[in-house]
Structure 1
């Protein structure tokens, strides 16, 4: 595509979807790093995707039913991880990894005989963010406001089970908008970028990293005709490394 003829209105809904994802994932990402459960996002996102696959196999095609299936699966996964953390806290990260692998391989097994299974799985993982429409964002926007308020209002003070459930609902909304890979990147990459910055500036800078990463990735994907989700992940990572390199050294942040 010729950059001079680039129509930014094409990526406006996708950018809005990315902003909604960042609104919940940036504050939750800080909590995930603090709690030392980095891969919970991948696990819960994969479980939500598994719920979408099960709904599709049952020919439940209504949007709200698919959303309910994904949310139910994610909440069950969150409750399971809450129980494992309480029962075996010393190996929680390993348990999260096992849950992720089981959900991922379960998706492969369920789609094994589906002629379009590979394409469907790829869409769930890498996402189809460029195909998002503004009319799909109303309910996610309302949910994002509620989740974002709770995440900021009770920052660091949510009980274990409440945090996992809130996290599950946020991921359920995000995974159907942007895919599993972008959900994980949106949660972890900005949080990693600002971990050495003063506490009062981390959230704002992390948001800036996320917004810039989505904007740059979407524009470049149109210019070079590359997969949007994958390119946004790389843009987020590149910007995060730059911001981290320009920031204070470990132990300097206050």
Structure 2
């Protein structure tokens, strides 16, 4: 998710082992949500600022864990930057499954408010809903909602995410993340991320538990295209093996 003024880090979290949804029902609901919010974004007045990106990735990771079965993913994100710092956006992703072709993977609507504190700092607050279909690594699909607050500087940004029901009822969590970037040479940037997921109550047995995730990589700017090559992983109870993830992001 990215706001017009404060770029966020990767979304998602350690996934539960099972979720009591059927694939067909979850996928249909995912599609309806995507169509409704996309229609709203494109219906904004001409004076509003509308931007976005199309990202092609070798796979998608959910805070360190593989969520697309190690399969390629395409994600379209659109953001409406309104007046007085308010913004509204959504991202929808498709996964290239092994046997069924392209299928819906996830849908992520969000809304928030960003305000410049100075030339070098921006504060950001908002809410985001993450929904995954049965074609994700979450058995049967699943969803959760988080409120967030963060601050971004020139090279470093941080956010706190609070979810009251993390994939299941009565499973509150806190996720903390720190993101940074450092220019190395013309059009070359070192990028990094570290995050920590904490359950605020005793977790269900089907959950992986508290976990730390990370990502470290290089970004190459090619005109309106960013090429990212990063190593990412996680150290939770069911922590995934590290993997090299390659992504191309096209600015729209």
Same fold flag (TM > 0.5): no
Name the structure, 1 or 2, with higher relative contact order (CA <8 Å, separation 6+). Answer: 1
TM-score, normalised to structure 1, is 0.29
- The two structures have a TM-score, normalised by structure 2, of 0.29
